[in-house]
Amino acid sequence: MVDSLIHSLKLLAFLLGMPLSFALLLQWIGGGIRKSGISRLGMAYWYLVSPGVVCHEIGHALGCLFTFCRITKFVPFRLGEDGTLGYVQHESKSGWKGAVSNLVIATGPIWFGCIVIVALTWLFAGTAMVANYGDYFSSDALPGFLDYIWACFKSSKNLLFSLSGDAFSSWWLAALWFYLVFCVASEIGLSSVDIASMWKGLLCVVVVLLLSGMIPGVRDWYASGLHALLPRLFLVHSLMAFAVLVDAVLWLLMRLFVRR
């Protein structure tokens, strides 16, 4: 029973814990960036990062399409008097299906934001952002959680350094890439509305994985599935760590700019 619970908790940590932790960290750093940006630029800051807001809302819209929830209104960017920047209104499903749908819709900006960062890098630098799981871990056993987090940030640093030098054909392409990636990364986190709408679905997924993981056959299937998925999850987690790194650098620069 204890071994089954440990296997299920490991699955939850890598599958849900990692991306949600990065998303909350991005939201926290993004809050600091917004505070610094608004103090210097006022409401014009939101127009500066509007590409990231649009990307965020498109992620929600794609979550609706993926869960077959009809979109009733889609506003990718509009600076409202109540502080609303954009929103997606959609039909609501009842029961556990609705809870899981809300989870997918709420976390849409995370997955879509990672895809956009990869696409922007390929478009402007002509290179694919790849994080090789095998460079840090063997395939024999699951890595420790802290070691895995450290490897994600180390991989994100290597991704950033790989784009220096001759990766871009001109300085303005590099500047445009950095600006767009910053916009996407700064708005990739989960807002308070996203968190409020997803917690029931998250609870459903957690309970199902914990209970089903205690069944011997299912537990073994989870373990083998996690081994197969982890190299792909490592790329997603590394890209989120990359977004954290980009946001942290911009936050420090903006704080220095505001102080001056």
Domain boundaries, the chain: 2-255
Confidence of residue 59 (pLDDT cuts 50, 70, 90): very high
Q: How far apart are CA 20 and CA 110, in angstroms?
A: 9
User: Does residue 164 register a pLDDT over 70?
Assistant: no
**What is the average per-residue pLDDT within 157-175?**
79
Report whether 120 contacts 168 (CB < 8 A): no
Report whether 71 contacts 61 (CB < 8 A): yes
**What is the average per-residue pLDDT within 60-77?**
92
The residue among 248 and 165 whose pLDDT is bigger is 248
Ordered DSSP codes for 77-107: ----TTS---EEEE----HHHHHHHHHHHHT
Report whether 200 contacts 99 (CB < 8 A): yes
Separation of CA 252 from chain center: 21
Long-range CB contacts (< 8 A, 24+ apart) of 199-207?
200/99, 200/102, 200/103, 201/99, 201/100, 201/101, 201/102, 201/103, 201/104, 201/106, 202/16, 202/20, 202/103, 203/99, 204/96, 204/99, 204/100, 204/103, 205/16, 205/100, 205/103, 206/12, 206/16
pLDDT of residue 245: 85
Instruction: Tell me the pLDDT of the chain averaged across its residues.
Output: 83
Tokens 């505070």 belong to 35
Buried b (16+ CB within 10 A) or exposed e, 48-75: ebbbbbbbbbbbbbbbbeebebeeeeee
Q: 183 - beta bridge partners? A: none
pLDDT of residue 58: 95
pLDDT of residue 124: 87
Closest CA to 178 of 186, 216, 83: 186
Confidence of residue 4 (pLDDT cuts 50, 70, 90): low
The residue among 129 and 87 whose pLDDT is bigger is 87
Residue at 250: amino acid letter: L
pLDDT > 90 fraction of the chain, expressed in percent and rounded: 14
Q: Kindly report, residue by residue over 177-199, the tens digit of the pLDDT.
A: 889 988 898 888 787 788 888 88
**What is the average per-residue pLDDT within 224-246?**
83
Q: How far apart are CA 113 and CA 130, in angstroms?
A: 16
